[in-house]
Structure 1
Amino acid sequence: MRENILLKTITNILYPRRCPICGKIVVPRGELACPPCKSKLIPIEEPRCKKCSKPIDSEEIEYCLDCFTKHHQYEKGFALWVYDANMKKSIAEFKFHGRQEYSDFYAEELVKKFRAEIQKIAPDVLVPIPIHKSKQIQRGYNQAEVLAKGIGEKLNIPVISHLLKRDRKTLPQKQLNDKERLKNLLKAFTFSKKELLQYEVKYNRKVRKVLLVDDIYTTGSTMEACTGILLQNGIEEVYFISICIGKGY
């Protein structure tokens, strides 16, 4: 533990941490983001959709239009910030430009906000939404896996990184309607019984509850496809957590 703290201290001196919002060196040192930058982010407060967590306009409405008109198989989801211009830029740097250290900030804020809810759910494992191997080679990592490990470390919840695999590339989602998006994604993901068995043998317990982890929740098609595959393979309850989510109606 002391060695890890010392290593982080030395690393921060040699390579000062950059703010996940403005991209400049964090001021003051020791913070994970510049306080003025952090205040620019829009947290999702009530009223929010009771199913997916999208912000909604009226306290008299329990669900966003999407969740009101569709049946999502996951139990419930949690998201921290509105996906606005600031977060779009931040997550793009995290995803495409090697800023893995931004996950420290995201994970800390997610746990700070949702620790009690996650502990109440008591998921057996965290499972990151997978990306195709070609994208992982290009980026060098799966951003959802990096985030899941950060959350898992803080909450002492194991992560099964490859329980779900993305074996096929899919058509650009923007060109498709909701049904086509889901059909498109269902062909892309597979479930690894080998990974599940290895975990259950190692920890001598069954996996019944899964918390899916991703960076952004937009239409919900990806989360729905992954939830369906998990349920088809014996998982009893599926929840999700994401850094950002689009605005509801």
Structure 2
Amino acid sequence: MTRPFILSASIAEATFAVPETAAPILQAAEAAGLDLLVMGRSGERPFDAQVLLAWAAPMTTRLGLVATVPASNAHPFHVARALSAIDFLTAGRTGWSVIPEGAEDGMAEDMVGAARALWDGWGSDTLILDKASGRYLDAAKVHASNYEGPFFKVAGPVNAMRPPLGHPLLVVDGDDPIAISDADLALIDEDGAAPTATKRLLKVSPDADVASLITRFEAGEIDGVHLTLTNAAAQLPEIGARFTSLVEGRAHEAGDLRRRLGLPIPQTASNQPGGAVIPENA
């Protein structure tokens, strides 16, 4: 598979919480060729990103949807359950970015560990869906996580199947990093902190020099770019026009985000090879 150039952006406009103004933005994001749209940023979360993910799921076809999750007032059981359900709605196009702002040191990392343990409570081949016998699942392949960390104690199992992605993509931001060694994507500044992650997206402005970005991508310095949207309705068409050469030919790519973006489940994050296998679709 050809290594993909990843195009990502974040939005934190209050108007994005209004369906009439959010729907055209989602359409513009897909038309611009974005791989990921991060909903919210550290210090800027004027909406409940997980609620918006559920709403946006059926309105999009290839756009990766990433929710910012505040560690200070969210619980891993509810987060794991919600993201698993949304991952099914999107056929494997979800992600999350845990925001440590306002939380005690270590709480964000503990939330990640607890949620991952809950997702791993379901085996990939747990579902049976045998209508003749009336068996829905193999109960022996669903187990309590019994996770116990410094902030969260979660027995599980979560009452939602293992996500199609195995785990939704974990995105960390260099401006507000968390101490996770196996994140999927890191958003990095030119001279700022560079959290450890499988792939690195350089934060750039919409007028960044595309030729220079291509050179750095081909040299393996970066795996794509991330843009901060301040006026999404106006900026997305411009981004689509300027960056089209980087994502050309990928507008109608099928498949889940891990497959499309070349992101395996981190070995330290999962004891399963992949997401839930649905017998009817196997």
TM-score by length of 1: 0.28
Structure whose residues are more often strand by fraction: 2
TM-score by length of 2: 0.26
